[in-house]
Amino acid sequence: MYNEIDLDNIDINLEPPAEEPARQYYYMAKCREWVKDLGEKQGRMPRFCVVNMGCQMNARDSEKLTGILEQIGYTASREEEADFVLYNTCTVRENANHKVYGRLGYLNGFKKKNPFMMIGLCGCMMQEALVVEKIRKSYSFVDLIFGTHNIYKFAELLYTTIENRILSVKHNKKNSMVIDIWQDTDLIVEDLPTERKYFFKSGVNIMFGCNNFCSYCIVPYVRGRERSREAKDILREIEMLAKDGVVEVMLLGQNVNSYGKTLDSPVSFAQLLQEVEKISGIERIRFMTSHPKDLSDELIDVMKNSSKICRHLHLPLQSGSTDILQKMNRKYTKEQYLDLIAKIRSAMPDIAITTDIIVGFPGETEEDFAETLDVVRKVEYDSAFTFLYSKRTGTPAASMENQTPEDVLKKRFDRLLSEVQKIAVKKAEKYTGSTQKVLIEHRNEQDARLVTGRMSNNSVVHLPGNADMIGKTVDVTLTECKGFYYIGEAN
């Protein structure tokens, strides 16, 4: 963890400070007192589990929430043994919501046996008013709900939840749920504690929210308007990470290519990358996600001339049909997308390109789908995430006519998946026999004699090795391609 703070110097008998992040440190100190008391009462320190259900942005938020819980004195555990369970939810597709309701019922069984157990819900799904209403009515055992705009306030909200819990146990009364959802904010609070899942790599938020309003997507409604962090804050965070042993950073945003446009002194994403590149100790720079309409020539040039920016670009296509792209409000045509790919490949022939594709957007005809298959065959993606279109209430696409029947949708999805897989396997094979730099990330989960790492282009490699190699970059000869990963040997 970095940003460790000295909570002992905070006088919790004073009034809470108004300014941030001092106010949150104050509440962390107050929560810590309670956690200590509960620990003494239970004869063990209270345990927590933050369950991440979403994308890389959510995963980064989960690390921040975990960092605060660890400062307070909670220790990490499995969900089933935790005194505080926090679900960081996703709502990009409908099935993510169903999963949360199912798991809440299961959790309630544990809560009934543990009077001080608390359940919290946060993340994108909580920004939907109907969801919060349903939880209030049908899942009244939940203790805390907050959204995506106020996660920095977590310590303060947790303290209110603790006070409620103490009162309800003392008076044997029903829970009163703490609910704090904001619709939007411009506020970005720096310098809160954060946990890091890996000591050698870290995600770094460079911006929040999205202004694109793709017609199928709920993200702009639940993550709010686009706002960028100041470049100096980002660079300071990465410098601290580098000093702490981090060699790889992943710059995170819903559309990193439009980074910096809303700052008082605008900075382009390409300029930011050049500054990150100067930080000594950082060996690899990744970023996620790009939007084809904003990917500049300047960025291609900076990537081409960089020895640190990884040879991987995730460039969501969504559909290969210009008609559907227009209905999706993506602001590029099939031809413009293909031209962009050609430009990127001519600058960096070895770059891996991955994508997201949605099957069955309203009104998608067999001809439209054939256009998507055509782009997939032309681009030859190294891998692709394929999704069945999911109707999200409140988005423009939800009220469009001609929603595709489910059986047609599933058949198209299977056809797309098999095409994508066939190409990915063919492409992967071309590296067999070559030597590549691999950053070792962890021990192999199935075989303790192996370790697992990633190449610059994001391909996964398994090789014989030991825990001492974790966090190091090694030259590896790729001896065999197993379709979606390689087997290799360190040189």
Residue 221 contacts ligand 5AD per CB under 6 A: no
Residue 148 contacts ligand SF4 per CB under 6 A: no
Closest distance of CB 428 from ligand 5AD, Å:
22
Residue 372 contacts ligand SF4 per CB under 6 A: no
Number of residues near ligand SF4 (by CB under 6 A): 10
**What is the x/- site pattern for ligand 5AD, positions 408-427, by CB under 6 A?**
--------------------
Round to whole Å and give the CA distance between 173 and 195. 35
Residue 294 contacts ligand 5AD per CB under 6 A: no
Of 402-421, binders to ligand SF4 (CB under 6 A) are none
How is the beta sheet containing 75-76 ordered, strand by strand? Answer: 75-76, 47-52, 84-89, 118-123, 144-146, 178-180
Distance of CA 433 to the CA centre of its chain: 33
Round to whole Å and give the CA distance between 190 and 204. 12
How is the beta sheet containing 284-288 ordered, strand by strand? Answer: 201-205, 248-252, 284-288
Residue 337 contacts ligand 5AD per CB under 6 A: no
92: closest CA among 334, 408, 356? 356
Residue 214 contacts ligand SF4 per CB under 6 A: yes
Q: Which CB sits closer to ligand 5AD, 32 or 392?
A: 392
Residue 210 contacts ligand SF4 per CB under 6 A: yes
Closest distance of CB 298 from ligand 5AD, Å:
23
Round to whole Å and give the CA distance between 45 and 232. 38
Q: Give me the residues paired with residue 83 across strands.
A: none
Return the one option of ligand 5AD, ligand SF4, none that residue 291 interacts with (CB less than 5 to 8 A, by type).
Answer: ligand SF4
Structure tokens at 106: 């299961």
Q: Report yes or no: 151 and 158 within 8 Å, Cβ to Cβ.
A: no
Distance of CA 453 to the CA centre of its chain: 20
Q: Report yes or no: 231 and 259 within 8 Å, Cβ to Cβ.
A: no
**Structure-derived torsion over alpha carbons of residues 8, 17, 5, 202, reported in degrees to the nearest 10:** 150
**What is the x/- site pattern for ligand SF4, positions 276-305, by CB under 6 A?**
---------------x--------------
Element (H, E) at 410: helix 406-429
Q: Give me the residues paired with residue 250 across strands.
A: 203, 286
Q: Which CB sits closer to ligand SF4, 213 or 385?
A: 213
Q: Which of 36, 93, 345, 378 binds ligand 5AD (CB under 6 A)?
A: 93
Structure tokens at 24: 């949150």
Q: Which of 28, 31, 217, 247 binds ligand SF4 (CB under 6 A)?
A: 217
Stretch that binds ligand SF4, among 189-197, 209-217, 259-267, 296-304 (CB under 6 A): 209-217
**What is the x/- site pattern for ligand 5AD, positions 37-76, by CB under 6 A?**
----------------------------------------
Q: Which CB sits closer to ligand 5AD, 234 or 358?
A: 358
Q: Give me the residues paired with residue 251 across strands.
A: 204, 287
Residue 392 contacts ligand SF4 per CB under 6 A: no
Residue 91 contacts ligand SF4 per CB under 6 A: no
Round to whole Å and give the CA distance between 256 and 260. 9
Round to whole Å and give the CA distance between 92 and 276. 30
Q: Which CB sits closer to ligand SF4, 58 or 212?
A: 212
CA distances to 182, 210, 331, 394, 397 from 213, rounded to whole Å, are 19, 7, 11, 11, 11
Q: Which of 164, 175, 318, 436 binds ligand 5AD (CB under 6 A)?
A: 318
Q: Which CB sits closer to ligand 5AD, 148 or 161?
A: 148
Residue 247 contacts ligand 5AD per CB under 6 A: no
The one-letter code for the residue type at 400 is M
Element (H, E) at 241: helix 231-243
144: closest CA among 69, 227, 254, 75? 69
Residue 164 contacts ligand SF4 per CB under 6 A: no
Residues 6+ apart with CB under 8 A from 305: none
**What is the x/- site pattern for ligand 5AD, positions 375-404, by CB under 6 A?**
------------x-xx-x------------
Q: Which CB sits closer to ligand 5AD, 142 or 218?
A: 218
168 exposure class (CB count in 10 Å sphere: 0-12, 13-18, 19+): middle
Of 356-375, binders to ligand 5AD (CB under 6 A) are 356, 358
Q: Which CB sits closer to ligand 5AD, 332 or 431?
A: 332
Give me the residue label for tokens 């400062």.
71
Return the one option of ligand 5AD, ligand SF4, none that residue 199 interacts with (CB less than 5 to 8 A, by type).
Answer: none
Q: Are strands 352-359 and 248-252 parallel, antiparallel or unpaired?
A: unpaired
Residue 206 contacts ligand 5AD per CB under 6 A: no
Of 246-265, binders to ligand SF4 (CB under 6 A) are 254-255
Q: Which CB sits closer to ligand 5AD, 294 or 356?
A: 356
Positions touching ligand 5AD (CB under 6 A) are 92-93, 216-217, 316, 318, 356, 358, 387, 389-390, 392
Positions touching ligand SF4 (CB under 6 A) are 210, 212-214, 217, 219-220, 254-255, 291
